[in-house]
Structure 1
């Protein structure tokens, strides 16, 4: 049994894991895909502190994973399919088994969500973007419509 299970290995999940281990907590991170989350897929990371110049998402994700493992965080590639939060012992059922802990942290990140409007597919990359940090400069001085946000 773990003290803490974290669902999601993006920057928030990895940071929470490293902090928990530094406080003496036996910690497991469950990640269904790859460490790094969405940031691990970008070509160049530009908006995080302590980023090395021209660092890719892949190298940033690799550094996060290495730091977590060196700190003593356990990372398992598994998809959480059910979480039971009642009682003193919480459980996470995954496609690889059931894990138990005293506490659960949800750090399952976000996914760009399409709006489902007519022409959306055809406009992707042609005036409609889903990443303000990456695409914003192309729209400088223009009228834009923003939906959503973080």
Structure 2
């Protein structure tokens, strides 16, 4: 028996897919053996990847109607934001790294603010350990916020993201 040519295999696959669509059946995406984009290029493996949640701030008065967030500080909302899917063993460390590695500060329109952006040069995460049910993060450096509201934004973002 001679090997099936790639074009014949594609035609057979297309015919089976068409038959499934006509018959009203489909294969669940997580059950498919081969992952490929529409152009046949293999997709990267996604097992183990998941988005992380980081928290950004917005003045409650400037938030888009329907924005979900927790009120805090000086009339601000702490808004959960999902990152791109990431493969990591320590979600809290990676989420905090995301805040410190941010190179823009403002995100979206209307904007959500990463207050950690202002201190990322002077506050450096140095470690993370667990003591019982408590996660302890350590930092070196100095935080000199403009005012009490900015200090509260930084604290709230770090605590909520680490949690």
TM-score when normalising by structure 2: 0.24
Q: State the structure with more CA Rg.
A: 2
- Of structures 1 and 2, the one scoring higher in RCO (CA 8 A, sep 6+) is 1
Instruction: Name whichever structure is richer in helix by fraction.
Output: 2
